[in-house]
Structure 1
Amino acid sequence: MEKGSNYLSAVEGVLRGFIITVILLLIFAVIMTFVDIGSRVRYIFYVITNILSIMYGVIYAVRRIGKKGWLVGIGVTLLYLLILYVVSIISGNSAAISSYGVKRLLLDLIVGALSGMIAINL
């Protein structure tokens, strides 16, 4: 593959990750309409949704690129999280990053890197 298609594959992986995020959040919103769900369950669902979306996006991108799985995984994860952060700020959330945010960032980066390593060996 030529260099330009590598970047395109990474961006495509991020977009596919966001599609998974939107689908899962829509399903969860429908469920929350009918069932009263506590904040702890919502938090766990958001973390799982984030992890699954990153995993899918990274695996897609790495399978298309075919090399440097961990590096592509970290890159796709960072791009996904950057876009998610910007959308969060635009929607009215605080721009401050708490210790909770740093922990989630580290978790997501680890998941992205590991997903890239696994995808390169599939």
Structure 2
Amino acid sequence: MEWENYFKSIFKGLIFALMATFLVTAILSFIMNSITLPDGLFNIIYVVISSLALLIGTVAAVKNYGSKGWIIGLSVGCIFYISLYFIGILFGAEASLTVYDFIKFALCLLIGAFSGMLGVNL
């Protein structure tokens, strides 16, 4: 029963994170129709959007589970990055792993772990 609750919590956090990412990205796309952003700024904005969405999803998952915040956070961060990677490939992104991809993966794990610790203590 504990494993079932663990995976339900991770799935709930992943859904929260993906919904937040898609919602804020849709808002950003409407804003970009009226103003022009440099490419470098867009990459920074995307990292901030992903980080905040992961924070929201991880806190939701940890609040649902109630303990083991950093483990839940690492799990949500890992699955969140893998999900975004495959969604990107599905929509035409290049399917190659570069140093930048490994940095983003490590950042997702780090943010997930710290968000999990934060979620337990809220």
Shift, 1:3, TM fit: 3.2
Aligned-partner residue type, residue 52 of structure 2: L
Q: Secondary structure at the match of 1:67?
A: coil
Q: Secondary structure at the match of 2:83?
A: helix
Say yes or no: does 1:6 pair with 2:6: yes
Written as runs of structure 1 = structure 2, the 5 A alignment for 1:97-112 is: 97-112=97-112
Written as runs of structure 1 = structure 2, the 5 A alignment for 1:1-122 is: 2-122=2-122
Runs of 4+ in structure 1 deviating by more than 2 angstroms, as ranges, are none
CA–CA separation in structure 1 for the residues paired with 2:109 and 2:85: 15
CA–CA separation in structure 2 for the residues paired with 1:78 and 1:120: 19
CA–CA separation in structure 1 for the residues paired with 2:99 and 2:3: 37
CA–CA separation in structure 2 for the residues paired with 1:61 and 1:17: 10
Aligned-partner residue type, residue 27 of structure 1: I
Q: Identity across aligned pairs (percent)?
A: 30
Structure 2 unmatched ranges of 5 or more: none
Shift, 1:115, TM fit: 0.4
Shift, 1:4, TM fit: 1.4
Aligned-partner residue type, residue 5 of structure 1: N
CA–CA separation in structure 1 for the residues paired with 2:53 and 2:12: 13
Structure 1 unmatched ranges of 5 or more: none
